[in-house]
Structure 1
Amino acid sequence: MRAAQAGNDTRLRPRPGVPIVRSVERAAAILRAFSPGETHLSLAELSRRTQLDKSTTRRLLHTLSVVELVEYHEREQAYALAPGVLMLVPAVNYGRDLRDVAEPVLARLTEITGATAFLWSFFGSHAMCLDRVKARDLHIDAPWSAIGTRISLNCAGGPRVILAHLSAQERLEILQQALPKHTPFTQTDPAELEAAANLIRQRGWELAIDDYIVGLAGLGVPVFDRTGRFVASISITTLTPSLPLENGEPRHLRAMLDAAAEIGVRLQP
């Protein structure tokens, strides 16, 4: 597996003496302003989020529209990402090997547990969703993470497992940042998160309850390759009462550990 290893952020860093093309940087900021929960944004809102003046934002949006990456919706008087963005997705190699191996395992895990299954990788100081298999009979009005969604490492089962298995230096850098508090149950205190990370590594799983969305719980476990190296995490999410502790272990833990082991064994070194 070449790209989706936790702790291996493959983005290029700015090189001394190589200038940044500001127009490209600004256009990227506009594209990143959209999210699954906010697919339509007005000119004023895009200007505010990117901290660009309206004239510059308008010119960039016009260019992005010409190249079919953004489109304007007259009825909403707002902009949205265009289908041209989807044409770029097949060329993204990041995490492809891991996703191909994990996909059938996640599908089977969803059938066994009745929960939505996720595959997570570490990217840009966040947990990135590499794959998701949504439970067929679980209907919840909530913004589910999809491929490419990034969430902070201080909440949810899969992301918290990643936090626990980062190097001490990487974890320190993340815990020094301002961490979002999604619900009253989200941990943001660095000392508490460090203690939780130690516990997660020791027991090999994390059950996060109501800390990302109240009413939902997530069970996460690590994925190790055949050399014992931590490469990702998987998790399942469902209604909180559906993931109780049974004899000190969360329900479906055995199935989760088996799934993680199967993915790890199948990965190419």
Structure 2
Amino acid sequence: MIGSIVKALEILEMFRPDEPSLSLAEISNRLGYPKTTLYTILNTLELKGYVERGKNGIYSLGTAIIPLTQSVRVNAKIRDRAAPLLRELGDYSKQSVYLAILDDLVCLYIYAIETKHRLLARTAIGERVLMHYTSVGKSMLAFLPENQIDVLIERHGLPRATEFTIVDRENLKEELATIRSQGYATDKAEHEPRVYCIGCPIFDADGEVIAACSISGVDMQIVTDHRESLAAAVRYTAQEISRRMGYIPSGDKLIWRSFDNPLRQVY
């Protein structure tokens, strides 16, 4: 545990709707920390915009808090709307199921239904991974503007996770073109050895890609013999989540075609 981070969080938790402003002395008296220690932490929080200091030396929460609360609401909204559909997908596929959001050009896993066959003991929830070597990441990346794809490559590069990771810019862009055409992405042991995935993008009411869902397992047939049936199931699930987020398919985002609910069938 990092003491300075704990103290910073305790400071932020001091501010309440009925007491939105506090002096350094008040914060020190209530938390029991020296004023010098708190002053240093408050200066850092002020620099980052998480607290504001008035002319009278009174502190209050800063505007940098607002985007964080909005992100939490958006994450909870999509998770809650997606959860029943993802459970149905997991029951149908008998594979692990994941929901990841686009977070500053990386994937952030916010929901998972993991089977006992997952090779890694830890859960993926809360994990942030690069976009070019996962099916959720590539499915989102394929529907981002070209300039954002270039920014991502410049910022993060294309590091190798396994021997199958795509590490060449042109090869990646060819893969993204295929994903845009077929509406789903595959991960053929590109992120974790002997793990295979199919992922599909999720759009919001503005037609922007905001998330992706996937199935994942250790059976190579996920991306070979069972690929078409499982891809249809993941696409249907992503489509229904998108609709619950207010999305109406149109134009170049019309990646889904009319078909019966594949989750009601046996593959």
Range into which the TM-score falls when normalised by the shorter chain: 0.5 to 0.7
Please give the per-residue CA displacement for 1:84-130, whole angstroms capped at 9, x wherever unaligned: xxxx99x9334111111001111111111011111111112201112
Mapping 1:167-178, distance limit 5 Å = 167-177=145-155, 178=157
TM-score of the pair, normalised by structure 2: 0.62
Identify the structure with the greater helix proportion. 2
Q: Do residues 216 (structure 1) and 195 (structure 2) align?
A: yes
Please give the per-residue CA displacement for 1:138-178, whole angstroms capped at 9, x wherever unaligned: 353454411x2110011011111111111111101111232
Taking structure 1 as reference, are residues 129 and 93 closer, same or farther at Cα in structure 2, changes over 3 Å only?
A: same
Query: What one-letter code is carried by the residue in structure 2 that aligns with 1:170?
Result: Q
Which residue is equivalent to 2:127? 149
Mapping 1:168-207, distance limit 5 Å = 168-177=146-155, 178-207=157-186
Taking structure 1 as reference, are residues 171 and 109 closer, same or farther at Cα in structure 2, changes over 3 Å only?
A: same
Greater Cα radius of gyration, structure 1 or 2: 2
Percent of pairs with identical residues: 22
Query: What one-letter code is carried by the residue in structure 1 that aligns with 2:77?
Result: D
Please give the per-residue CA displacement for 1:54-74, whole angstroms capped at 9, x wherever unaligned: xxxxx99xx9xxxxxxxxxxx
Q: Distance in 2 between matches of 1:97 and 1:141?
A: 28
Query: What one-letter code is carried by the residue in structure 1 that aligns with 2:236?
Result: D
Q: Distance in 1 between matches of 2:121 and 2:164?
A: 17
Mapping 1:234-253, distance limit 5 Å = 234-246=213-225, 249-253=227-231
Higher relative contact order (CA 8 A, sep 6+): 1
TM-score of the pair, normalised by structure 1: 0.61
Flag structure 2 segments of 5+ consecutive residues without an equivalent. Answer: 10-36, 42-67, 248-267
Flag structure 1 segments of 5+ consecutive residues without an equivalent. Answer: 1-23, 32-58, 64-87
Mapping 1:1-269, distance limit 5 Å = 27=5, 92-135=72-115, 137-146=116-125, 148-177=126-155, 178-225=157-204, 228-246=207-225, 249-268=227-246
Query: What one-letter code is carried by the residue in structure 2 that aligns with 1:196?
Result: E
Taking structure 1 as reference, are residues 139 and 186 closer, same or farther at Cα in structure 2, changes over 3 Å only?
A: closer
